[in-house]
Structure 1
Amino acid sequence: MNFPRGTRGGGIGILHKSHLKLENRTFQETFEYALISNSSCTLNFVVVYRPDPSGVNTSPFLSEFEEFFSNVDLLSGRTLVLGDFNIHCDLPSKPEVKQFCTILSSMGYRQLVDVPMHRLLRTLDLLIVKDNETLVSEWDINPTYYSDHLIINCVLDVTRVMISKTFRVSRNFKAIDHQIFATDLAEKINSVLEQGHINVNDLVKGYNNACLNVLDTHAPVKSKPRSVRYKPKWYNDNVIKARRERRRYERRWRKTGLDADYQIYIDAKSTAADVIVREKSNFYKNKFADCTCSYKDIYKTVNEPLNVSGNVLPDSDTSAELANNFCEYFVGKVNKIRCELDMYDPCSSNSTTSHENQSVVSCIENQSVVSCNLFDFQLITEDDLCKIIAKCPTKSCPLDPMPTWLVKQHLETLAPILTAIVNVSLSSGVFPAELSKAVITPVLKKPSLDRNLLSNYRRSQICRLWANLLRKWFLLRSPITSMSMSCRIRTSQPTKFLTVPRLRLPVSRMTFLGLLTTSVPFYF
């Protein structure tokens, strides 16, 4: 929808396919317009609305329209200008109509509509194309008055956009024989442990390769083409049948033009609408009845018919460009925070920080003094590891070599190597490089914010299972549990810190463990 106004009526509303992109919405002094183009900019639609000019001089509109149309003529590709111009083109003798037609002809355009389009038998709604183009192959008028204006139906001479096909990559986990799978997995895991890796990165790499090799044998990756076609979940056979009947009677009426066939078409259209409303209502009633015990499912169900989606992203020509833009923004934010923390001197009154980082500095200044001994980290046993994993949710990170539910099912086989990874990491003071990777999803902070402004987005990341496992084990069995509690108390959303002040560490070997939550927008 275009810009709201305090007065009644008017404005621009556009319903378009997702492959078209709304380029511009502008309100001029005497009219407003919206420009829509396809991805390759070979086809442009300019929708124009001019408010009722009763009692207003038309000269400002004509001069402004001439300047506007000179810019429209510079657009690449074919252009169709349409909308409610509120100018009486059915009266060609009027001076403003003559001047309007002169502007069009001087730029090589022509106006197609030559029949009344208003209840008062005036031609106000126009279709404008170039003289040397056949963009509009045919057009007609819908004789039904849904408002004060009639509807123009036009057929465009353009290449039909083919339904894009994507390839779905998946594994058939149902085909796994878990007894044979467990035997092969144990063989691969034992071969990795027998190599006696001291480096935790080599151990993680061996674990990943072992899991992937066994999975590729029992459930290989398959790629299947899938057409991207939107189909609502409530769209069932009853709706399909009602819509087919409506379309059949419409074709008959347009072919014969009889009033009886028109009345049959109107009845079929009303019946199809009732069927859609009934089926949609029954679908959501049943869905609400199935999720009465989960508030999360209830909110998810409510957001679906309201078209409330969390996957809001800025406009971009390609996915790679959008990903690079977010990467540059978040990296720049990291560098800015690091520079301000490096330059901050609590003893100097000249130290300044940005408003968004005041909470970070406040957390550092107000940290409590905790004195305790930390000579090494407590190692984990297989029993403790199995208990922690059993309490973890079954959600998985796309970077995990094996989904979490499958890990839980074969935990007895995987427990030795997972225990070895955690203990080698804690004893060597090295966090595995592979586990520091995560899947990042930009999330708009508030629905009311501008989605094209990158600063209005925060990071939401999904870490690997073993990265969360290390964090949970440290918080559960760390000798400095008081400081893990201070992490929860001293919180500044969306950043959380675990402060480790005044620890007695061996001089010959100093270790620092930084634990970051999924909402932290930078790494140390």
Structure 2
Amino acid sequence: MALLNTRSLVNKSFVVNDFFLASRLDVLFLTETWIRPGESSSFSELLPLDCAFFNSPRTAGRGGGLASVFRSKFRVRQLPPALHSSFEVQLLELSGSSRTLCAVVYRPPKRNKDFIREFADLLGIIFLSYDRVLICGDFNIHICCEEDLLAKDFLALIDSFNITQWVRKSTHIKGHMLDLVLSYGLDICITDINDAGISDHFPVIFDVQSCNMELNSEGPPSLSRPINSEAVALFSAAFANSFCYEDISNAPLSVDGVVNSFISICTSILDTVAPVKIRRRKTSRQPWLNESILALRRECRRAERRWKKDQLQVSLDILHMSRSKFQKAAKMAKTSFLSNIIANNSHNPRVLFKIFNSVVNPCSDVSMGASPALCEKFLNFWI
């Protein structure tokens, strides 16, 4: 898992996609997406092929916004939003051996006297229903400053709920710990906090060691036998050596016994010359990713490794430039790819609808789960 303040996902969608894949993440929590209600095209650029997302944009004003990206194999549902004046929150329930509540939080930097009270109310509601809680986000609280009054009140609040705060390093270029990972009933291991050149916040990568997430059913595995000319020749030779008609005809067997013996011999030979194999699912590459885009992505990763090694300002500047160059080139490549498809299929409404739907609805349907609020919403729609 990872937590990242993107400070505008629109301008970094392909960069965040590369970060997700390079870090081999299963879940990514995003703050400050700056995506307005009704917009989702940035997620068509961000999402890998086997992922889904939940988006919680700020309903009024500019900035803010929360999102969560996760592998489609996990069972995750979004809970009804909790509205607070001093911070934004996205609530997710992760199914597993025991339900886990995940809260993604963004608190604007402007001081609000109601934050401690409202956050305490949220914790009280959460802890009534869940024994395992993960809270992460950009709190904009300088908890590293011992004299900060808000930090003191916040640390006292989470201590009163027996919540553990796991981040111990700076998560911002100015040296403050603003992005936090909190948990109750879960063991967290922070694996990396370093400047990735994506924004002025550092991504926080961590493992949840005691959260067994339930997987969606993917159906039975695909099995196959590699039958080719060589397997046929081997089968014929083995069958000739192991099957004797006279032995079968002289044996005191019924018709069913002879058939079963024949099937047993054939199956044994097949398992030897052409054993059953599980057909692995192939991961296809995005069709618009040409060689020039892949070369730019490799350049970004080389620049990131160089920056992590020497920590020089010039290396960081090169990383930022390579990230920006990759983002612009990838966006142009995808735009050109989709434009060509639309131009070549201008009289094919099925293809046009499919392309349009892939942009405005970039992931497969995610089960919303049953809840009284959802039932009430469904009822009101038809009344």
Q: Deviations over 1:401-456 (max 9, x none)?
A: xxxxxxxxxxxxxxxxxxxxxxxxxxxxxxxxxxxxxxxxxxxxxxxx99973896
**How far apart are 1:135 and its partner, in Å?**
1.0
Alignment-derived partner of residue 290 in structure 1:
344
Q: Deviations over 1:128-185 (max 9, x none)?
A: 234x853133341427583xx5233222144898998656889xxxxxxxxxxxxxxx
Kept after mapping to 1: 8 A contact 2:191/2:207: yes
Alignment-derived partner of residue 69 in structure 1:
123
What are the within-5 Å matches in structure 2 for residues 182-331 of structure 1? 225=279, 227=281, 229=283, 231-307=285-361, 312=365, 315-316=368-369
Any unmatched runs of 5+ in structure 1? 171-221, 318-448, 458-524
- Which amino acid in structure 1 is aligned with residue 307 of structure 2? W
Q: Does 1:105 align with 2:159?
A: yes
In structure 2, how many angstroms separate the alpha carbons of the residues matched to 1:74 and 1:23?
Answer: 15
In structure 1, how many angstroms separate the alpha carbons of the residues matched to 2:110 and 2:128?
Answer: 28
Q: Deviations over 1:328-383 (max 9, x none)?
A: xxxxxxxxxxxxxxxxxxxxxxxxxxxxxxxxxxxxxxxxxxxxxxxxxxxxxxxx
Any unmatched runs of 5+ in structure 2? 1-54, 224-275
Equivalent of residue 14 in structure 1, options 47, 56, 68 = 68
In structure 2, how many angstroms separate the alpha carbons of the residues matched to 1:286 and 1:223?
Answer: 39
In structure 1, how many angstroms separate the alpha carbons of the residues matched to 2:365 and 2:314?
Answer: 48
What are the within-5 Å matches in structure 2 for residues 126-205 of structure 1? 126-130=180-184, 133-142=186-195, 144=197, 146=199, 150-158=201-209
In structure 1, how many angstroms separate the alpha carbons of the residues matched to 2:366 and 2:77?
Answer: 14
Kept after mapping to 1: 8 A contact 2:167/2:190: no
Equivalent of residue 87 in structure 2, options 31, 50, 59 = 31
**How far apart are 1:257 and its partner, in Å?**
2.4
In structure 1, how many angstroms separate the alpha carbons of the residues matched to 2:85 and 2:336?
Answer: 48
**Fraction of identical pairs, as percent:** 23
**How far apart are 1:287 and its partner, in Å?**
1.4
**How far apart are 1:250 and its partner, in Å?**
1.9
Kept after mapping to 1: 8 A contact 2:141/2:178: yes
In structure 2, how many angstroms separate the alpha carbons of the residues matched to 1:451 and 1:287?
Answer: 41
Report which structure shows greater RCO (CA 8 Å, sep ≥6): 2
In structure 2, how many angstroms separate the alpha carbons of the residues matched to 1:293 and 1:121?
Answer: 56
**Bigger Rg over Cα:** 1
Kept after mapping to 2: 8 A contact 1:450/1:456: no
- Which amino acid in structure 2 is aligned with residue 155 of structure 1? F
What are the within-5 Å matches in structure 2 for residues 415-426 of structure 1? none
Alignment-derived partner of residue 137 in structure 2:
83
Alignment-derived partner of residue 105 in structure 2:
48
In structure 2, how many angstroms separate the alpha carbons of the residues matched to 1:153 and 1:126?
Answer: 8
In structure 2, how many angstroms separate the alpha carbons of the residues matched to 1:81 and 1:252?
Answer: 32
Task: Give TM-score scaled by structure 1 length.
Answer: 0.42
- Which amino acid in structure 2 is aligned with residue 151 of structure 1? F
Q: How many residues matched?
A: 269
CA pair 305-32 structure 1, distance change in 2 beyond 3 A: closer
In structure 1, how many angstroms separate the alpha carbons of the residues matched to 2:154 and 2:145?
Answer: 12
Q: Deviations over 1:465-507 (max 9, x none)?
A: xxxxxxxxxxxxxxxxxxxxxxxxxxxxxxxxxxxxxxxxxxx
Instruction: Give the RMSD, CA atoms, in angstroms.
Output: 4.4
CA pair 237-262 structure 1, distance change in 2 beyond 3 A: same
In structure 1, how many angstroms separate the alpha carbons of the residues matched to 2:331 and 2:107?
Answer: 35
**How far apart are 1:105 and its partner, in Å?**
1.7
Q: Deviations over 1:234-277 (max 9, x none)?
A: 23454444323432332233133234444443444344334423
In structure 2, how many angstroms separate the alpha carbons of the residues matched to 1:145 and 1:279?
Answer: 21
Tell me the SS of whatever aligns to 1:108.
coil
